[in-house]
């Protein structure tokens, strides 16, 4: 999980570095790079590419691609660390969708944890006038759509191989990003080709190690470590892009992460 979060943080930093490219073109290159690797894996292992739950796989792919586009768009308006923290509100939306779609129940104390997380956002925006409203709308939308992704994956369950699920996501991301990038395409120059190509590789490494982590350890042990991505990304933002965070922004981030971690610990204790 340490390698996974570091890989995703590096990918976030690379996307921020390539901010002059359109979000659609970045999604295209990020998706295409991973798609090549997932296709090679599936063909080598002789795993059926189309999978079983095809309508759900397509839904997951579309939702994932849209969420990724919105996330990359938000990086034009928000510090990279702030965007990553707020995207982690997706489990809150996932829980709400699970109540509607999967008929799951949320305990009153969990709503309290979610309220703490959302209060963190209010602290960040309410006391930090430099925080872009457009950026907030984009990242909230990304988190909301990501909530649909989580619920869809739960619905798919173990009926499809994890790489098949990722492959659908990357195929749709490549198609959607490529089509939308046509009107604002910028041909990479020099080492930009290498950096753009590395997006998919780094993203694949992050997803691979995350999957391995969940396979060899219990969810309640692994899930909280996912938030190391926030720390790594904030450090990358501070030292690479010289981004600064007000005391209110940091307090808001802590509140968001605390609310989400408390929910994870509560659910893991309840299961055990």
Domain spans of the chain, in order of start: 2-271
> Would you state the pLDDT for residue 217?
72
For residue 23, which of 232, 247, 177, 242 has the smallest C-alpha distance?
A: 177
Name the one residue in this structure whose structure tokens are 């991973």: 34
| Backbone φ, ψ for residue 102 (5° rounding) | -100, 0
Q: What b/e readout covers 193-211, taking b as 16+ CB neighbours within 10 angstroms?
A: eebbebbbbbbbbbbbbbe
> Would you state the pLDDT for residue 270?
63
| CA–CA dist 129, 113 (Å, integer) | 26
Residue 237: CB partners within 8 Å, gap ≥ 6? 13, 16, 79, 80, 81, 243
DSSP letter at 223 equals: G
| CA–CA dist 30, 37 (Å, integer) | 12
Q: What is the pTM of this model?
A: 0.89
Under DSSP, is residue 211 helix (H, G, I), strand (E, B) or coil?
helix
Contact of 128 with 249, CB cutoff 8 Å = yes
What pLDDT tens digit does each residue of the chain (272 aa) get?
A: 899 999 999 999 999 999 999 999 999 999 999 999 999 999 999 999 999 999 999 999 999 999 999 999 999 999 998 999 999 888 888 888 888 887 778 888 999 999 999 899 888 877 666 788 899 999 999 999 999 988 888 888 888 998 999 999 999 999 999 999 999 999 999 999 999 999 999 999 988 888 788 767 766 677 778 888 888 998 999 999 898 888 888 899 999 999 988 988 887 776 55
> Would you state the pLDDT for residue 18?
93
Query: CB-hemisphere CA count at 13 Å for 179?
Result: 6
> Would you state the pLDDT for residue 112?
94
> Would you state the pLDDT for residue 125?
75
Structure tokens that stand for 175 in this block:
């198609």
Rg for the chain, CA atoms, rounded: 18
**Measured CA distances, 23 to 18, 67, 173, 225, 258 (Å):** 9, 11, 12, 28, 30
């Amino acid at each position: 999980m340490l390698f996974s979060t570091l890989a995703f943080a590096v990918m976030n930093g690379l996307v921020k570095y390539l901010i002059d490219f359109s979000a659609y073109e970045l999604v295209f290159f990020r998706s295409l790079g991973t798609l090549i690797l997932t296709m090679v894996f599936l063909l080598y292992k002789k795993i059926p590419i189309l999978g079983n739950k095809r309508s759900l796989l397509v839904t997951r792919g579309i939702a994932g691609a849209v969420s990724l586009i919105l996330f990359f768009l938000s990086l034009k308006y928000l510090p990279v660390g702030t965007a990553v923290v707020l995207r982690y509100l997706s489990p809150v939306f996932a829980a709400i969708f699970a109540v509607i779609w999967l008929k799951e129940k949320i305990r009153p104390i969990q709503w309290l944890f979610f309220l703490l997380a959302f209060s963190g956002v209010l602290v960040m925006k309410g006391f930090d006038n430099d925080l872009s409203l457009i950026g907030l709308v984009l990242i909230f939308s990304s988190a909301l759509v990501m909530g649909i992704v989580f619920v869809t994956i739960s619905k798919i369950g173990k009926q499809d191989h994890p790489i098949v699920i990722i492959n659908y996501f990357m195929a749709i991301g490549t198609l959607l990003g490529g089509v939308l990038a046509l009107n604002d395409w910028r041909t990479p120059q020099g080492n930009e080709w290498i950096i753009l190509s590395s997006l998919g590789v780094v993203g694949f490494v992050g997803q691979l190690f995350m999957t391995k982590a969940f396979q060899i350890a219990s969810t309640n042990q692994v899930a909280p470590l996912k938030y190391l991505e926030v720390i790594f990304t904030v450090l990358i933002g501070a030292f690479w892009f010289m981004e600064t965070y007000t005391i209110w922004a940091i307090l808001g981030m802590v509140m968001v992460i605390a609310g989400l971690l408390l929910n994870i610990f509560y659910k893991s204790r309840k299961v055990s």
